[in-house]
């Protein structure tokens, strides 16, 4: 009987131990499951945070770029507006007085000159230039002008561009202020101004281009330019003209239809190395004097013409050709 109780107690103990072991195992599994759940939630949370960060980066990058672009656009707009405001569009202050500019001395600048633009021609019936003080004689040029001799009319300073005729043949780009803004034209200098406040005095054809109210005194600007590409200032090919009255002892020559203002005319015997500059004549404006020893020489000579803007012309002829009065030698 005592043996039976022993085995009953032993079996009971085993059952209790088994139940305790199973309960512990189940608790461990529940703990691991809970831990996995927490880790899964943390992983999901990290993943969500990473996703949020990736979508925010482009926004942070694009925002300043858009801001800079808008800033640059605003800056460019302000610059263009300021530039347009400062740009001189050539509108005269009082449209009714555009042709009544107050007489004043011209101003000579490095790039352009300013002052009065007048006319001594007929805009309604433009005439050809008759050569003026440049001694070109009768021409077929309608786009011509006279230039001022002095800067200060009261001082008679001779500081204007005329310079004893060295301005002859040069071309000017002229523009005047009008009610509608700048009007422009081109003209060849063939004369000097008589008006004491003269700047540029236009022939009839160029005056018609820039004087919408008719002849008058307009405020304007002008600058020297090449005559090339402006056929209206030519009446033929560039040529040397031998002055009337020239002979084998005395001769003067000039350049007609030059490419721009003539800087120098030089001569040399063909075969010689250096050119000799010809002297500016005092007998007549816009002429060069030929040495008398050349005029009786049948040998070949080369004449070199130097213009503004680094252009040149040359022609070969005999010394006696330069003694033939009132002749044109085409270059």
CATH numbers and ranges of domains, the chain: 95-233 (2.40.40.10), 239-330 (2.60.40.760)
Q: Which residue has the tokens 């949370």?
A: 45
* Residue 140 clears pLDDT 90, i.e. is over it: yes
* Residue 80 clears pLDDT 90, i.e. is over it: no
* Residue 49 clears pLDDT 50, i.e. is over it: no
Q: pLDDT tens-digit profile of 144-163?
A: 999 999 998 777 888 999 99
Would strands 300-307 and 312-318 be described as parallel, antiparallel, or unpaired?
Answer: antiparallel
Looking at every residue in the chain, the average pLDDT score rounds to 82
| pTM score, whole prediction | 0.73
In angstroms, the CA 304 to CA 314 distance is 4
Q: Which has more pLDDT, 72 or 201? A: 201
Question: Could you tell me the pLDDT band of residue 283, with boundaries at 50, 70 and 90?
Answer: very high
Residue 95, token pair as written in the block: 């449209």
* Residue 69 clears pLDDT 80, i.e. is over it: no
* Residue 65 clears pLDDT 60, i.e. is over it: no
Burial 50-69 (b: 16+ CB within 10 A, else e): eeeeeeeeeeeeeeeeeeee
Q: What is the 8-class DSSP label of residue 94?
A: S
Helix, strand, or coil here: 71?
helix
Planar angle of CA 280, 245, 130, nearest 5 degrees: 75
Q: How many helices and strands, by DSSP H and E, does the chain display?
A: 3, 16
Residue 62, token pair as written in the block: 């694009």
Give the pLDDT of residue 68: 38
Q: pLDDT tens-digit profile of 175-227?
A: 999 999 999 999 999 999 978 899 999 999 999 999 999 999 999 999 999 99
Question: Could you tell me the pLDDT band of residue 95, with boundaries at 50, 70 and 90?
Answer: confident
Do residues 201 and 119 make contact, with C-beta atoms less than 8 angstroms apart?
yes
Q: What is the 8-class DSSP label of residue 309?
A: G
Question: Could you tell me the pLDDT band of residue 5, with boundaries at 50, 70 and 90?
Answer: low
């Amino acid at each position: 009987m005592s043996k039976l109780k022993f085995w009953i107690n032993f079996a009971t103990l085993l059952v209790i131990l088994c139940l305790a072991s199973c309960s512990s195992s189940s608790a461990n599994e529940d703990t691991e499951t809970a831990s996995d759940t927490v880790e899964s939630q943390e992983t999901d949370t990290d993943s969500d945070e990473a996703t949020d960060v990736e979508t925010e980066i482009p926004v942070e990058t694009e925002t300043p770029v858009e801001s800079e672009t808008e800033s640059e656009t605003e800056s460019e707009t302000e610059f263009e507006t300021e530039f347009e405001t400062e740009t001189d569009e050539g509108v005269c202050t009082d449209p009714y007085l555009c042709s009544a500019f107050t007489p004043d001395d011209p101003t000579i600048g490095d790039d352009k000159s300013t002052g009065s633009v007048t006319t001594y021609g007929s805009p309604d019936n433009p005439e050809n230039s008759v050569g003026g003080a440049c001694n070109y004689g009768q021409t077929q040029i309608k786009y011509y002008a006279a230039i001022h001799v002095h800067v200060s009319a009261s001082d008679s300073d001779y500081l204007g561009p005329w310079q004893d005729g060295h301005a002859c043949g040069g071309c000017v780009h002229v523009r005047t202020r009008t009610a509608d803004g700048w009007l422009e034209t081109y003209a060849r200098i063939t004369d000097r101004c008589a008006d004491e406040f003269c700047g540029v005095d236009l022939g009839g054809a160029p005056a018609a281009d820039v004087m919408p109210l008719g002849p008058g005194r307009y405020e304007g600007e002008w600058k020297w330019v090449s005559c090339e590409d402006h056929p209206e200032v030519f009446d033929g090919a560039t040529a040397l003209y031998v002055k009337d009255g020239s002979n084998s002892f005395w001769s003067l020559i000039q350049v007609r239809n030059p490419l721009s203002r003539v800087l120098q005319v030089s001569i040399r015997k063909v075969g010689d190395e250096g050119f000799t500059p010809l002297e500016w004549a005092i007998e007549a404006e816009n002429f060069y004097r030929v040495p008398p020893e050349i005029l009786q020489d049948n040998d070949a000579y080369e004449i070199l013409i130097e213009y503004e803007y680094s252009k040149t012309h040359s022609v070969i002829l005999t010394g006696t050709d330069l003694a033939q009065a009132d002749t044109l030698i085409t270059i």
